[in-house]
Amino acid sequence: MRRTGLATTALLMDRVPAFSQSVPAKALTLDPNTLAKFVDPLPIPPIVRPDRYQPSPADPGVKIPYFRQAMRPFEMKVHRDLKPTRMWGFSSGFPGPTFDVRSGQEIMVEWVNELPDKHFLPVDHNLGGAGAHQPEVRAVVHLHGGKVAPESDGYPEDWIVPGKSALYHYPNKQDAAMLWYHDHAMGINRLNIYAGLMGAYLLRDDVEDSLQLPNGKYEIPLVISDRFFTPEGQLFYPVSGNANAPWVPEVFGDAILVNGKIFPYLDVAARKHRFRVLNASNARFYHLSFANGASFTQIGTDQGLLPAPIPLKALMIAPGERVDLVIDFSSHRGEEMILKNDAFVIMQFRVSGDKVNDTSSLPAALRPVPKISEAQAVKTRLLSLDEYVNRVAEPVLMLLNGTYWHQPITETPVLNTTEIWTLINPTDDSHPIHLHLVRFQILDRRRFETSAYMGRRELKFTGEPVPPDASEAGWKDTARAEPGMVTRIIVHFEGYAGRYVWHCHILEHEDNEMMRPYEVLAKP
Ligand code: C2O
Ligand code: CU
Ligand code: CU
């Protein structure tokens, strides 16, 4: 039990209104709409270079690239007219530098904690793993979407303190995709990522190369995240009214940053560009579109290329998700195009008036994504997503299947078998559910009667199963479990046996128990 007077089953009926959230007092934060728009060029994080080559842990006869990445405090300008913002980041950057690596080429990364001993964001010592007896500053790096052995996966309790480092091995034996690395420290993950501890990881392969997609300077990562800032330009992380329990259920910052800038602009040639989009926000979902209604094309999901390009006018992206887009600016010569999140401006593209010869292509067939058949599943798990409130209806806790992090492991798939995970969401929130180690497919979503479920744990469907959106119908590692719906995913557990985690990627939820260990068993 984390909070006073909390009775798990008794409070199950007390549901939480969607995204109920204590909003910070307006006076404490900067109104981003007072800032000049499109005065800063979009920064492109540098590509990391190996520091040296050293023997592979898998085969000491082979030398593999070794990278050293330090987490450090630093200051950066998030907008021309703001003073530098104190942040924490990898190699003093936010986002951190981009890894650009090839499938089949294993690498090692030494993640070094060079952070100070005191946190600058409000640690809540009531949260699991963040007790007052724990070191205040802890960090552990997870490669989101990576098929990695458990000892290199960044288990939330494998954190290191300032002055220490951890050497991780990334085999990169998986299809081309945009992965990302970020902190995963138990109970303070939301604060560490908000502080800036994340970066992109591009994995490439021959199939992708053969497609001749836009590349080089025409391929650009767009890392989207939201923050609050004080009028002095410092990060502001909202707190509850209770000084002893500052955790808030979600943070929706009013300033949207792309690659670490507020309202950036990007000069583009009038041709096709490829954008690798990541939602690295703590809790915000984005509904992306162009203000002028321009269409664009999605070519990939979290875990790589789609079977075929999908033309879109708008796109939903949840925290933790990635989308791979191709935008053709050739019919927009000389235009200024605004990318927005519904009513909110995100950034501007300034299309050159010059005609260019575009040698890149956008093939009609990308990469086959064979459907995993339901008949292949050896087990179906029913897993509920639960939110709990206190006597004054404030959310205080989120659980997966009514179970706390520290309780015994309940999800134990066997290596090289397939399972269906049925995510039952009786809450009013959409929860982006992420599994480490694996890639999966979304089977369907189906509406059910939430009151019958919450009262008697009785599952009564009220609608027909709905297939995933076209833009989700590829390989995923994070999927939205929509409110009032049962979302079914099918997962083949392969790669490694051992202990991993699955969790909601709303970081405030994850830090307050909406995360569970799971274990891939080597044998039944
Ligand atoms: Cu992106 Cu377990 O996380
Ligand atoms: Cu992950
Ligand atoms: Cu959640």
Q: pLDDT digits over 246-269, tens only?
A: 999 999 999 999 999 999 999 999
Beta bridge partners of 236: 228
What pLDDT does 400 receive? 97
Ligand 2 (ion): residues with CB under 5 Å are 144, 436
pLDDT, mean of residues 435-444: 98
* pLDDT of residue 20 exceeding 80: no
Strand order in the sheet with 395-400: 395-400, 377-389, 417-425, 485-493, 440-447
Which position has the token pair 């049962």? 486
What pLDDT does 395 receive? 84
Q: Is 503 in the pocket of ligand 1 (CB under 6 A)?
A: yes
- Categorize the per-residue pLDDT at 393 as very low, low, confident or very high, splitting at 50, 70 and 90: confident
Q: Is 322 in the pocket of ligand 1 (CB under 6 A)?
A: no
Q: Give the whole-angstrom CA distance, residue 237 versus residue 214.
A: 38
Distance from Cα 55 to the centre of ligand 1, integer Å:
28
Q: Give the whole-angstrom CA distance, residue 158 versus residue 249.
A: 25
pLDDT, mean of residues 313-337: 98
Distance from Cα 104 to the centre of ligand 2, integer Å:
20
Contact by Cβ (8 Å): 183, 94 = no
Q: Using CA positions, which residue lies closest to atom 1 of ligand 1?
A: 144
Q: Is 516 in the pocket of ligand 1 (CB under 6 A)?
A: no
Q: Is 521 helix (H, G, I), strand (E, B) or coil?
A: strand
Q: Give the whole-angstrom CA distance, residue 306 versus residue 473.
A: 8
Tally of residues, the chain: 524
Q: What atom of ligand 1 comes closest to residue 515's alpha carbon? A: 2
Task: State the ligand closest to the CA atom of 433.
Answer: 3
Distance from Cα 7 to the centre of ligand 1, integer Å:
29
What pLDDT does 13 receive? 34
Q: Is 190 in the pocket of ligand 1 (CB under 6 A)?
A: no
pLDDT, mean of residues 25-42: 89
Q: Is 436 in the pocket of ligand 1 (CB under 6 A)?
A: yes
Q: Give the whole-angstrom CA distance, residue 196 versus residue 410.
A: 33
Residues sharing a CB contact under 8 Å with residue 276, sequence separation 6 or more, in sequence order: 178, 200, 202, 219, 220, 221, 222, 322, 324
Q: pLDDT digits over 199-240, tens only?
A: 999 999 999 999 999 999 999 999 999 999 999 999 999 999
Which amino acid belongs to residue 291?
A: A
How many CB atoms lie under 10 A from the CB of residue 277? 23
The burial of 7, by beta-carbon neighbours within 10 Å (0-12 exposed, 13-18 middle, 19 or more buried), is given as exposed
Distance from Cα 477 to the centre of ligand 2, integer Å:
8
Q: pLDDT digits over 274-310, tens only?
A: 999 999 999 999 999 999 999 999 999 999 999 999 9
* pLDDT of residue 474 exceeding 60: yes
pLDDT, mean of residues 379-387: 96
Q: Give the pairing of strands 219-229 and 272-279.
A: parallel
* pLDDT of residue 273 exceeding 80: yes
Q: pLDDT digits over 365-378, tens only?
A: 999 999 999 999 99
The proportion of the chain whose per-residue pLDDT surpasses 90, expressed as a percent, equals 91
Q: pLDDT digits over 483-516, tens only?
A: 999 999 999 999 999 999 999 999 999 999 999 9
Contact by Cβ (8 Å): 45, 51 = no
Distance between first and last Cα of the chain: 32
Report the predicted TM-score, pTM, of the whole model to 2 decimal places. 0.95
pLDDT, mean of residues 426-434: 96
DSSP tag of 17: P
Nearest to 346 by CA among 277, 283, 257: 257
Q: Please give the backbone phi and psi of residue 72, each rounded to the nearest 5 degrees, phi first.
A: -140, 155
Q: Give the pairing of strands 261-262 and 264-268.
A: unpaired
Q: Give the whole-angstrom CA distance, residue 213 versus residue 274.
A: 7
Distance from Cα 359 to the centre of ligand 2, integer Å:
35
What pLDDT does 4 receive? 31
- Categorize the per-residue pLDDT at 15 as very low, low, confident or very high, splitting at 50, 70 and 90: very low
Q: Is 73 helix (H, G, I), strand (E, B) or coil?
A: strand
Distance from Cα 194 to the centre of ligand 3, integer Å:
17
Per-residue exposure over 504-520, b if at least 16 CB sit within 10 Å of its own CB, e if not: bbbbbbbbbbbbbbbeb
Q: What atom of ligand 1 comes closest to residue 501's alpha carbon? A: 2
Contact by Cβ (8 Å): 511, 406 = no
Residues sharing a CB contact under 8 Å with residue 479, sequence separation 6 or more, in sequence order: 423, 432, 433, 440, 442, 468, 472, 487, 489
| Region class of 123: left (phi > 0), else alpha (psi between -120 and 50), else beta | beta
Q: What atom of ligand 1 comes closest to residue 510's alpha carbon? A: 2
Nearest to 393 by CA among 11, 23, 24, 124: 11
* pLDDT of residue 187 exceeding 70: yes
Distance from Cα 439 to the centre of ligand 1, integer Å:
13
How many CB atoms lie under 10 A from the CB of residue 354? 10
Largest CA distance in the chain: 67
Which position has the token pair 């909110």? 344
- Categorize the per-residue pLDDT at 390 as very low, low, confident or very high, splitting at 50, 70 and 90: confident
Average confidence score pLDDT of the chain? 94
* pLDDT of residue 11 exceeding 50: no
Distance from Cα 189 to the centre of ligand 1, integer Å:
10
* pLDDT of residue 328 exceeding 60: yes
pLDDT, mean of residues 171-196: 98
Q: Using CA positions, which residue lies closest to atom 3 of ligand 1?
A: 144
The proportion of the chain whose per-residue pLDDT surpasses 70, expressed as a percent, equals 95
What pLDDT does 26 receive? 55
* pLDDT of residue 1 exceeding 50: no
- Categorize the per-residue pLDDT at 58 as very low, low, confident or very high, splitting at 50, 70 and 90: confident
Q: Is 184 in the pocket of ligand 1 (CB under 6 A)?
A: yes
What pLDDT does 325 receive? 98
Q: pLDDT digits over 77-86, tens only?
A: 999 999 999 9
Q: Give the whole-angstrom CA distance, residue 284 versus residue 430.
A: 11
DSSP string, 18-61: TT--PPPPGGGS--GGGSPSS-EEPP-PPBP--SEEEE-SS-TT
